[in-house]
Every structure is written in structure tokens, then in C-alpha cells.
């Protein structure tokens, strides 16, 4: 089964990179530009894994995760936080929001894929 | 193109936008905008630049962006007040970041220690705020950019981790998920599968803790997994599988070494290291702790200490506060994790839907629409020729077709239109630099930033505008001391405005300086031999001397405005865009340089006229009125210089046919049609042509690229019948006349 991934990042560069890294792995990739966009896409999309940036306009990563877990009441879709912040504090905040894991930017393709494999079939 | 190279290009494009956003934010901040979102936007822009730059190994950019970002973070979290001094440093940092970006993009060498001073100032700001301890967590020098490597053809999951403890020893893993693990979207099965992919793996599920079905709380976790993994990977790799869930489970990983001495099949778990007292049953749920370097207390709190080998970037949060998390009982389902108060106000705003399209495609479309316009003109002509009845269905249909073509054309042109905002923003930097270099304090006021112009115009306007702004600061404004001597505000103002006016875009650069010193301007022109000494010139003519090649009013060529180009170059580049530039000046009150530009470079509304059997097109915008002259209106002034009396004013008549070299001068203007044109600087002239044929939109086809510049001719177009018609440049024609007159005057004066 092809895994479908929703990646939320305000940087076009990052979105392109994620798409390149994941489509070459055979994943189906959907992209959103910020938290608001991401939540909107989830209206008619049920991805196997969500990847989200933290620093974003309109609705940041924490707000987005919150929206998924609480507003959409989705507690099972794994959410990986993709961020340049390796600071422990941020990971803790992401975890508190309900993030499943994290990937530190700049990422290596293999690490990204391995992280996804660890949270989804 | 190589996909990575493509992304690199995307990054550079995105960077330009980010830098623009950053600059806009910084400017807003220095204007006193203390909105959190403004600060955040600047932070995000710098942050994104750093992130992308890191991916492409642009180290100099990353390093500077990092310190800049840290400073912005201080401002963002209210630890640093954006005072005027702070803003000055931030604005300069923005400029420096732009420069670094350009150097990185163009592959220019970046000197070591470039921006060292500025970095020092930024660091001083960071250190100067109360949160100096921030540095511990976010040491600028710690940020090591890491380039991305893609194994596009390689499906292997081997990420090159050095296998330090290469051995066939087995790992014994006990994994007891907490309910929170599932609540964060993790799944024990996936983790175990990932584990089993590391080598030969036997997994046992221990269900002894599972309550009766009637008592089962589906949201709590009751299962414990034991795995024996035979693999050559090091322990770090094994631990990495559970990286995300370390705080949401009880986990022990032990090497076989101490256990090997015991019975192989049944790993003997050391009952002394109880992980979760409440939840485990004594026989099966206790775990062996063999990792001597880890703290057993931390283990008991389900917080395995971090392996010291973990890379800095991947350091899990347990690094920081291992003792804070209380033991969670697996029997009770904890409440949903407390979520931070996220800002959701923006939820309603929605994101604007945009599509990025390659410019080539847009231009192709514009070209096609141009062809469509020509084609439609041909059709119209064909229908007229076929002498079809005016109100036939075809004729009506064609009329609608015409309307639609026009609408399509306008819509397509709108795709290329861009607000001048980005251009104006760049100018604030020019003012900053110029004011620093001249030690004048200057405020730049901008207006009409949303005015849209063709993309090419925006791009090609940057250089002339830069020069004009520099000029305004350098030559236009008086020194601060001189201003203080008059009643003026010591702080000078340069005003940059854009507006749409009658189908054109007007961009003005105005200063509130001393105005043009006409005496001096004239003297310089005379000294440089540009004009004869005794020439009588109007104020406007004197002002326009500034545009003469070889003119420079600066006593010495300053390093600021005198960069080898004068206002003549500015004028030429504006003209190349189909624009005009004019000056007006008031002594003591300042000068205004006004640029008038066409909205688009692709089409124009033209009047198609016949001149000496040739069809030529005149831009409609230049034509004030058309008339058929009566004989009494024409007055000969001297020799061949005819004038026409229109509404009480004498206007020189130009015989276009003769001016373009099509025929000898007309002996009589009786059969001619007069087109009264007004040039950008307000001069009027009457162009004599033979007949008006049509008024229509024509597609501009440049002559420069295919043929060369022809004085008096702006471009060419293709008519409905397929013939080529020249598009006249009325200003150039009128201009050539006044020069002619000037030389005539000179001759007269010299002769006299």
C-alpha cells in the first residue's frame, strides 16, 4: 500500500525537498503552506502521516497539531514535526501538543523516510 | 534539470521574497509597528533563509542568518526592545543578509570576516538583553550547517551510521508503551516492525496485565513486548527506533553480554530494576538494567538517559529535564496532553491561492494573444472588404469577438503586472546608505506602493530609480546644517510615489531640498561647452539640461551619485521602457523628478494614419485632439516653419511625411489632417498626416532587436492585412523639431 503523506511547511524550498525525498520513495505526497491550509486539506484527506513545520504564518505547527488532535479529534494519525529547532524545549512543546516525533532540518532523505517508517505501516 | 538544482533555484527565488518580507517587516518595525505578527514575520523570514541555506551548504549565509535570527528571537520574546539603535543594527543586518544572499546565489567569494563587525553588534544585542543564558541553549557557533544528501536510486535504509559495536550479540528489549504513546499517534506495532527490520528478531507479547474484557479501558495500554534482536547494529541505532516514544514508554535495552551466561531462551530479567511499580506484575514485567552508565533513577521514571553518542541535532528532550515527568500508571488513561494556547485568530484569514507559473509560459501566452489581436483585426478587415451587411450575425459576432479579445488581452497583461512595492522597498535601503554617506538625515516617504506595472518595467526601473534617489539625497537635499539655517526641518524628506494616471504609471521622486540652482546649472552647461554662452533658455529648458550627456552638477564626482552615470543614462533607460522623465523645481522648496511609463510593453492603443502612402501608428495617449485645418489657421512664421492657431495658441506644425523622409515638404496643408499631440514635458505640436484610417489596439513588436533604433520611431506592429506599420514616437519627433529650432536659433544668433 502506498503511504500518503501530508507535509505542511511555509517554505516552498522545503516543500519541494520533502516532495522530492518522499515521492522518490514511492510515497504519495500532499503539500500545504501553513497550518490553516493544512487543516483545510484534512477536510477531505486522510493521510497516513502528517509532517509539519513549526514556524509558519497564519497558524504555526503547534496550533496545527492542536487543531488535528482536538478540533478534528484525530488522535491516531502520526504527526512528525519538521523543524530546524533542535532545542529540547520545542520538542517538548510539540510532544505536549500531540506530535508523534520529530525530524531536524536539514534532513537526510534516509532519516526522513526512516522516521516515517517508524510511525506508519 | 537535476531536481536538486531545480530546488536550489526555487530556494533562491523564495529567498528574494523572504528578504522582501523581512525588509518590509523591519521597516514597519522601525516605523513603530509593534505588532507581534510583524516581528514574527521577520523572524520567520530569516529563519527560513537559514533553513534553506543550511540545506544547500551556504555556510556564510547560515552563520549570519543564525545570529540575526537569534537576535530577532530576543525581540520576538520581548527580551530585547526594538529601540532606534537596535532597529538600525537590524536594518543593517537585513541589508547584509541580502548581500550575503546575492553573493551566495551568484557564487561570489565571500571574504572571511565580512560582516564581523555587524555580527559583533548583533551578538552584543543578544548578550545585552536579560536572557544572556539563551546563548547556552542556542550558541551561534554551534549551528553546523549540514548539507542534504539524497540517495535517490538507493532504496537501502543504510544511512551510513558507523557500526561501532559490530557484533552478532543479541539485544534484549523490553518495551511497555504508555497510553500516551498511542495518544500521540504512535503505534507499538510500527516500532516493533522497524525494530525487526534491524536484524533477526523474536518478539513476544506479554498479555498478563490485560484486564478482563468487561473492565478493559480501550484507551489505556496493557501490553508489554519483549524482543530479542540479533543484529550487527549498534545500540544507538536500536534506541533510535524508540526515539520518539522514549517518554511514552518504559524501555530497556540490554546487550547480551551479562545475560549470555544465563539461559539463552528465557532471558532472565533482573527483578531489582522495577520500571513501573504500579503497573507491572512481578514475574514478567521487571526488567534488566545493564547499562551501567545510565542512572537507575531516571530509568525508573521511564526516562532512559540519553546515549551520549546521540548527535547534537538529534538530542532528545530528556537531555534537559529528565526528572520532571512523573511515572504514569498504565492502568489509568491520562487526560489528553495539555496543548499550548495556539493562535487561531488567523484561521479565518485563509491563505491566498496562488499558482507559480514560468514566465516563459506567460510571455508565450501574451504573444499568442497578440497574434489573436492581429488575427481579429484581419477578420474585421475581411468582413469590411466582403461588403457584408453591418448588422449581419457575423458582424455582430465579430463585434463580440473584438470585445472578448480585448478582455483576454487585458487579463493576460494583468498576469505580468506587479506592484511597485518591492521596488520601493529596495529604495529605503538606498536612502539609508545615501544618508549615511552624506551625513544627512533623511526620511523616505513612499506612497502608492500597490500600483501595478509590468514586471519588466519594475525590474528595469531599479537602476534608474536608485540613481535618482541617490541624486535626491546627495544633490537635492541641503546638508543638515544648511537646513537648520533656514526654517526647514533639519531632517530632509524624499518622497517616492506611484500612481496610475490616464493609462500610464507616474512615478515621482520628490525632495524638499533647495531646488535646482538654475544659475549654476546653466553656468556648468556653458563651461562644459554643452550650450552656447548667450543662449536664452526658459526655466524648464535649464532644468532639462540635467539630462544632457556629459552633465554633472557635483563639484567633484562623489562616490555616491557620481558612479559614472548621469541623468542622461537615467533618461535613456526610462525611454527604453517607453517612458518619459521630466523635472520641475521650485527654488527653496525642492525638485520633483517625474517618470511616466506605459502600463504594458506589449500593446498600445493606437491611431492608424496614412502618411505619403504609408501606414503609421501613433499612440493614442499622446494625441490631444484631431482636426481638419482651415486655410486661415495656418501661419508661416519663417520659411518652412508653419504654425497653426489652435484655441488661441500657435502650435508648430510638423509634416510627418517629410520628417520621416517619405516625401518633399508639403506645399499646402489643405488636404492634411492635424493631430495635436502633447509631449511629456507639456510641449504641444501639430502633426500633419494625410488621413486617419482607424483607431485600434496594436501589438508592439520591437525594432531594436531585429533592426536597430530609428529616431522618431518607437516600434513596429503588424496590421490586419499582414503589412508592417511603424509606430511613431511623438515625443522624439517633437523633440527633434525643437532641437532643429534650437540649432536654427543658434544659427540665427551666431549669424546675428
Please tell me which of the candidates B157, B319, B351 has its beta carbon nearest to residue A114.
Answer: B157
The predicted pLDDT at position B638 comes to: 62
Instruction: Compute chain B's Rg from CA coordinates.
Output: 38
Contact between B495 and B447 under an 8 Å Cβ cutoff? The reply is yes
Contact between A12 and A35 under an 8 Å Cβ cutoff? The reply is no
Whole-angstrom distance, CA of residue B325 vs CA of residue B732: 81
The predicted pLDDT at position B168 comes to: 56
Q: What beta strand segments (E) does chain A contain?
A: 4-8, 28-32, 49-52, 79-83, 101-104
Q: How far apart are the first and last CA of chain B?
A: 71
Query: Do residue A33 and residue B351 have CB atoms under 8 angstroms apart?
Result: yes
Distance from CA of A100 to the nearest CA of B (A): 5
- Exposed/middle/buried for B102, CB within 10 Å: 0-12, 13-18, 19+? middle
Mean pLDDT of chain A: 85
Which element (helix H / strand E) includes B444?
strand B442-447
The predicted pLDDT at position B496 comes to: 94
Mode of pairing for the β-strands spanning B590-598 and B504-511? antiparallel
Please tell me which of the candidates B151, B186, B187 has its beta carbon nearest to residue A109.
Answer: B151
Pick the CATH number of B603-751 from 3.10.20.740, 2.40.50.180, 1.10.10.10, 3.90.1150.10: 2.40.50.180
* Domain B3-142, CATH class in plain words: mainly alpha
Contact between B101 and B19 under an 8 Å Cβ cutoff? The reply is yes
H-state helical runs in B162-234: 179-183, 188-196
Whole-angstrom distance, CA of residue B683 vs CA of residue B405: 35
The predicted pLDDT at position B639 comes to: 58
The predicted pLDDT at position B553 comes to: 52
The predicted pLDDT at position B509 comes to: 93
DSSP code at position B327: P
H-state helical runs in B500-549: 518-527, 539-544
Classify domain B420-598 at the CATH topology level: Heat Shock Protein 90 (3.30.565)
As given in the structure block, the three cell numbers for residue B506 are 507616474
* Interface mutation target, options B342, B349, B350, B357, chain A, most CBs of A under 10 Å: B342
Report the DSSP beta bridge partners of residue B172.
Answer: B228, B254
Mode of pairing for the β-strands spanning A79-83 and B442-447? unpaired
Other residues' Cβ atoms within 10 Å of the Cβ of residue B642: 23
The predicted pLDDT at position B216 comes to: 79
Whole-angstrom distance, CA of residue B472 vs CA of residue B189: 70
Closest CA to A117 of B312, B219, B196: B196
* Interface mutation target, options A26, A37, A106, chain B, most CBs of B under 10 Å: A106
Residue of chain B whose alpha carbon sits nearest to that of A36: B347
Cβ–Cβ pairs < 8 A, chains A and B = 203
3-state class (DSSP) for residue B713 = strand
Q: String of b and e for A71-107 (b: at least 16 CB within 10 Å)?
A: eeebeebbbbbbbbbbebebbbbbbbbbbbbbbbbbb
Residue tagged 532643429 (cell numbers): B740
Query: Do residue A119 and residue B186 have CB atoms under 8 angstroms apart?
Result: yes
As given in the structure block, the three cell numbers for residue B522 are 546653466
The predicted pLDDT at position B617 comes to: 93
* Interface mutation target, options A23, A41, A109, A118, chain B, most CBs of B under 10 Å: A118
| Residues of A whose CB is below 8 A from B155 | 25
Count CA atoms closer than 13 A to B535's CA, side-chain side: 24
Q: What beta strand segments (E) does B482-613 contain?
A: 492-501, 504-511, 580-586, 590-598, 603-611
Show me where the domains of chain B are located: 3-142, 170-319, 359-417, 420-598, 603-751
CA distances from B236 to B105, B232, B251, B281, B330 (A): 38, 12, 13, 29, 27
| Residues of A whose CB is below 8 A from B14 | 11-13
Look up the ipTM and state it.
Answer: 0.82
A109 in contact with chain B, both atoms CB, cutoff 8 A: yes
Residue tagged 522545503 (cell numbers): A14
B-facing residues of A in 17-56 (CB < 8 A) are 17, 20-21, 24-25, 33-34, 36-37, 39-40, 55-56
Contact between A117 and A100 under an 8 Å Cβ cutoff? The reply is no
Write phi, then psi, for B742 (nearest 5 degrees).
-60, -45
Give the CA angle between residues B414, B418, B422 to the nearest 5°: 175
Contact between A65 and A79 under an 8 Å Cβ cutoff? The reply is yes
Query: Do residue B157 and residue A60 have CB atoms under 8 angstroms apart?
Result: no
Closest CA to B402 of B381, B429, B418: B381
| Residues of A whose CB is below 8 A from B191 | 118
Positions of chain B with pLDDT under 70: 1, 112-113, 128-169, 256-353, 390, 552-565, 637-640, 680-682, 736-752
Query: Do residue A105 and residue B54 have CB atoms under 8 angstroms apart?
Result: yes
Contacts of B85 (CB under 8 A, 6+ apart): none
Q: Which pTM was predicted?
A: 0.54
Distance from CA of B351 to the nearest CA of A (A): 7
Contact between B258 and B293 under an 8 Å Cβ cutoff? The reply is no
Q: How far apart are the first and last CA of chain A?
A: 9
* Interface mutation target, options A26, A110, A115, chain B, most CBs of B under 10 Å: A110
Closest CA to B250 of B214, B227, B226, B275: B275
Whole-angstrom distance, CA of residue B316 vs CA of residue B244: 8
Amino acid at each position: 500500500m502506498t503511504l500518503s503523506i501530508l507535509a505542511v511547511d511555509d517554505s516552498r524550498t522545503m516543500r519541494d525537498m520533502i516532495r522530492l525525498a518522499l515521492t522518490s520513495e514511492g510515497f504519495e505526497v500532499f503539500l500545504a503552506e501553513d497550518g490553516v491550509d493544512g487543516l483545510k486539506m484534512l477536510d477531505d484527506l486522510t493521510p497516513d502521516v502528517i509532517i509539519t513545520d513549526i514556524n509558519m504564518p497564519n497558524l504555526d505547527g503547534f496550533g496545527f497539531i492542536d487543531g488535528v488532535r482536538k478540533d478534528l479529534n484525530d488522535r491516531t494519525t502520526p504527526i512528525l514535526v519538521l523543524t530546524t529547532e533542535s532545542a529540547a524545549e520545542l520538542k517538548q512543546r510539540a510532544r505536549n501538543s500531540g506530535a508523534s516525533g520529530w525530524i531536524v532540518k536539514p534532513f537526510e532523505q534516509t532519516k526522513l523516510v526512516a522516521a516515517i517508517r517508524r510511525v506508519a505501516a | 534539470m537535476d531536481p536538486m538544482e531545480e530546488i536550489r533555484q526555487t530556494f533562491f527565488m523564495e529567498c528574494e521574497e523572504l528578504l522582501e518580507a523581512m525588509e518590509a517587516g523591519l521597516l514597519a518595525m522601525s516605523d513603530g509597528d509593534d505588532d507581534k505578527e510583524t516581528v514574527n514575520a521577520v523572524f520567520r523570514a530569516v529563519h527560513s533563509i537559514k533553513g534553506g541555506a543550511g540545506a544547500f551548504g551556504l555556510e556564510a549565509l547560515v552563520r549570519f542568518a543564525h545570529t540575526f535570527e537569534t537576535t530577532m528571537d530576543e525581540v520576538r520574546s520581548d527580551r530585547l526592545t526594538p529601540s532606534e539603535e537596535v532597529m538600525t543594527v537590524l536594518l543593517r543586518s537585513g541589508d547584509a543578509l541580502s548581500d550575503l544572499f546575492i553573493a551566495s546565489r551568484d557564487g561570489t567569494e565571500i571574504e572571511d570576516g565580512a560582516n564581523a563587525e555587524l555580527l559583533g553588534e548583533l551578538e552584543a544585542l543578544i548578550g545585552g538583553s536579560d536572557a544572556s543564558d539563551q546563548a547556552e541553549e542556542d550558541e551561534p557557533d554551534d549551528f553546523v550547517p549540514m548539507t542534504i544528501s539524497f540517495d535517490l536510486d538507493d532504496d537501502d535504509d543504510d544511512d551510513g551510521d558507523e557500526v561501532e559495536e559490530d557484533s552478532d550479540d543479541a539485544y534484549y528489549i523490553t518495551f511497555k508503551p504508555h497510553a500516551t504513546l498511542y495518544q500521540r499517534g504512535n503505534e507499538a506495532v510500527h516500532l516493533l516492525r522497524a525494530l525487526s527490520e534491524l536484524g533477526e528478531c523474536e518478539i513476544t507479547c506479554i498479555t498478563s496485565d490485560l484486564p478482563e474484557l468487561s473492565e478493559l479501558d480501550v484507551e489505556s495500554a496493557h501490553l508489554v513486548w519483549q524482543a530479542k534482536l540479533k543484529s550487527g547494529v549498534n545500540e544507538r541505532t536500536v534506541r533510535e527506533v524508540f526515539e520518539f516514544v522514549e517518554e511514552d514508554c518504559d524501555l530497556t535495552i540490554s546487550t547480551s553480554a551479562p545475560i549470555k551466561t544465563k539461559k539463552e531462551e528465557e532471558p532472565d530479567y533482573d527483578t531489582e530494576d522495577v520500571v513501573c511499580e504500579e503497573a507491572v506484575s512481578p514475574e514478567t514485567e521487571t526488567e534488566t538494567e545493564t547499562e551501567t552508565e545510565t542512572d537507575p533513577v531516571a530509568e525508573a521514571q521511564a526516562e532512559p538517559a540519553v546515549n551520549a553518542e546521540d548527535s547534537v541535532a538529534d538530542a532528545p528532550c530528556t537531555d534537559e529535564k529528565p526528572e520532571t515527568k512523573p511515572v504514569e500508571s498504565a492502568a489509568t488513561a491520562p487526560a489528553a496532553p495539555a496543548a499550548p494556547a495556539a493562535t487561531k485568530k488567523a484561521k479565518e484569514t485563509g491563505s491566498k491561492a496562488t499558482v507559480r507559473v514560468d514566465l516563459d509560459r506567460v510571455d508565450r501566452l501574451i504573444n499568442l494573444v497578440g497574434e489573436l489581436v492581429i488575427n481579429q483585426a484581419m477578420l474585421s478587415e475581411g468582413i469590411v472588404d466582403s461588403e457584408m451587411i453591418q448588422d449581419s450575425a457575423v458582424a455582430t459576432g465579430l463585434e463580440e469577438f473584438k470585445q472578448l479579445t480585448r478582455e483576454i488581452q487585458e487579463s493576460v497583461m494583468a498576469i505580468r503586472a506587479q506592484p511597485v512595492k518591492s521596488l520601493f522597498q529596495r529604495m529605503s535601503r538606498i536612502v539609508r546608505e545615501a544618508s549615511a554617506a552624506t551625513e544627512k538625515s533623511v526620511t523616505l516617504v513612499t506612497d502608492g506602493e500597490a500600483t501595478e506595472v509590468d514586471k519588466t518595467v519594475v525590474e528595469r526601473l531599479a537602476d534608474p530609480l536608485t540613481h535618482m534617489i541617490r541624486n535626491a539625497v546627495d544633490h537635492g537635499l541641503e546638508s543638515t546644517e544648511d537646513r537648520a539655517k533656514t526654517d526647514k526641518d533639519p531632517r530632509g524628506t524624499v518622497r517616492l510615489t506611484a500612481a496610475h494616471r490616464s493609462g500610464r504609471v507616474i512615478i515621482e521622486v520628490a525632495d524638499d531640498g533647495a531646488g535646482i540652482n538654475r544659475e549654476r546649472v546653466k553656468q556648468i552647461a556653458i563651461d562644459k561647452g554643452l550650450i552656447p554662452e548667450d543662449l536664452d533658455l526658459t526655466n524648464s529648458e535649464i532644468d532639462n539640461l540635467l539630462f544632457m550627456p556629459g552633465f554633472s552638477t557635483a563639484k567633484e564626482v562623489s562616490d555616491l551619485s557620481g558612479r559614472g552615470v548621469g541623468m542622461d543614462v537615467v533618461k535613456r533607460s526610462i525611454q527604453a521602457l517607453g517612458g518619459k522623465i521630466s523635472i520641475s523645481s521650485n527654488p527653496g522648496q525642492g525638485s520633483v523628478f517625474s517618470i511616466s511609463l506605459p502600463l504594458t510593453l506589449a500593446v498600445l492603443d493606437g491611431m492608424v494614419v496614412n502618411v505619403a502612402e504609408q501606414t503609421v501608428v501613433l499612440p493614442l495617449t499622446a494625441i490631444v485632439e484631431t482636426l481638419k485645418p482651415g486655410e486661415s489657421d495656418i501661419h508661416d512664421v519663417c520659411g518652412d516653419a508653419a504654425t497653426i492657431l489652435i484655441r488661441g495658441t500657435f502650435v508648430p506644425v510638423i509634416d510627418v511625411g517629410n520628417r520621416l523622409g517619405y516625401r518633399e515638404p508639403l506645399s499646402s496643408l489643405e488636404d492634411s489632417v492635424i493631430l495635436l499631440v502633447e509631449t511629456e514635458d507639456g510641449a504641444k505640436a501639430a502633426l500633419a498626416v494625410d488621413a486617419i484610417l482607424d483607431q485600434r489596439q496594436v501589438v508592439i513588436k520591437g525594432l531594436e532587436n531585429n533592426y536597430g533604433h530609428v529616431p522618431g520611431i518607437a516600434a513596429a506592429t503588424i496590421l490586419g492585412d499582414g503589412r508592417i506599420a511603424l509606430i511613431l514616437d511623438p515625443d522624439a519627433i517633437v523633440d527633434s523639431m525643437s532641437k532643429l529650432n534650437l540649432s536654427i536659433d543658434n544659427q540665427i544668433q551666431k549669424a546675428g
